[in-house]
Amino acid sequence: MQRHRVVVTDFTEPGHDIESDVFASSGLAIDLVTVKEAGRSALLAATAGAHALMVQFARIDRVLIGTLTSCRVIARYGVGVDMIDIDAATDMGIAVANVPHYCVDEVSLQTIGFLLDLNRRTLPLAAHVRAGRWGTAPPVTPPSRLRGQLLGVVGFGAIGSEVARKARALGLEVIAYDPFAVADQHPGISFVPLTRLLAESDYVTLHCPLTEATRGLIGAAELAQMKPSAYLLNLSRGPVVDQAALTKALRAGVIRGAALDVLGTEPPDPADALLRLDNVIVTPHVASWSIEAGAELRRGVAQSVVDALLGREPASVVNRDQLLARARR
């Protein structure tokens, strides 16, 4: 029986018991190789000749992909595939698979959690009490009632639309910007140009993928279009926001505050001034985090590998159309 070499380049959680169970029940002979904290040359050495890769944050670029002469699939632990050179994978005939939907509940809930924390001033008030104070004169502006405020959702896919559903249940009104959304499929949501969304929203939340079109989508000019009382939430990818411009805007009061689960550089430089601003909440890229989401993610990645090795199409292949076009050439 042919043995298949499957390489895990990186994954934040330890252990691969769920993946191993999926492999065991597939009937395939799979050798699972994990690359721990590898530098670039060790990564290249480990992945060369692999039959499948399972990847999380490691940069899978054209040089690395060029060595994958036997690889059927690069399966991403996650939704976003911005760390993988999709064109290079297509050129090599390799499918790039992701696991959509595994953390829609978690990311949408963390977005709402951020929104509530910002509105209810939870962090400054908790700091106020922790500093031994009490009373009705904490050093923060009083919130406006959340019901009736306007949430602008940028990127109205699985997560953005679930954020909208939850937000409307709290009495918020929702508008959205998404150049690819079909408005008829989302009754009750007004799709508007980005400039209008920025100018009108009390909260702007980003849920688009990181692509060449969305890199730096929110910079100094866009922040200046927002209301001084507005908040920016980013749970998509750090580089969608110009972080230097955001830091400046938060300092200067161009907008009132921000909540970020993702940053331009992860992990950030501990000296980064953004991390110490009073009007920003930062969490360490954990919005997808739950026991259930983690298990679904592992099963999804392992199943994509099994499907590809068995010659079946994995459930979610992001370069499916490009591979079909390549096959027709």
Ligand X SMILES: NC(=O)c1ccc[n+]([C@@H]2O[C@H](COP(=O)([O-])OP(=O)(O)OC[C@H]3O[C@@H](n4cnc5c(N)ncnc54)[C@H](O)[C@@H]3O)[C@@H](O)[C@H]2O)c1
Q: Does 236 bind ligand X (CB under 6 A)?
A: yes
Instruction: Answer for the pair 176, 153: CB distance below 8 angstroms, yes or no.
Output: yes
Q: Does 198 bind ligand X (CB under 6 A)?
A: no
Does 266 participate in catalysis according to the annotation? yes
Q: What is the largest CA-CA distance in the chain?
A: 73
CA distance 86 to 323: 10
Q: Does 86 bind ligand X (CB under 6 A)?
A: no
Stretch that binds ligand X, among 19-27, 165-173, 223-231, 235-243 (CB under 6 A): 235-243
Of 13, 266, 276, 326, the active-site residue reads 266
CB of 209 to ligand X, least distance (A): 3
Backbone angles phi, psi at 129, to 5 degrees: -70, -45
Does 285 participate in catalysis according to the annotation? yes
Instruction: Answer for the pair 256, 280: CB distance below 8 angstroms, yes or no.
Output: no
The DSSP line for 173-226 is EEEEE-TT--GGGSTT-EE--HHHHHHH-SEEEE-----TTTTT-B-HHHHHHS
CB of 206 to ligand X, least distance (A): 8
Closest residue to ligand X: CB criterion: 157
Q: Does 297 bind ligand X (CB under 6 A)?
A: no
Does 101 participate in catalysis according to the annotation? no
CA distance 246 to 262: 13
Nearer to ligand X by Cβ, of 78 and 257: the residue is: 78
Binding string, residues 206-225; x marks residues near ligand X by CB under 6 A: -xxxxx-xx-----------
CA distance 160 to 205: 8
**Residues with catalytic annotation?**
237, 266, 285
The residue ranges that bind ligand X (CB under 6 A) are 79-80, 100, 103, 107, 154-160, 177-181, 207-211, 213-214, 235-237, 261-262, 285, 287-288
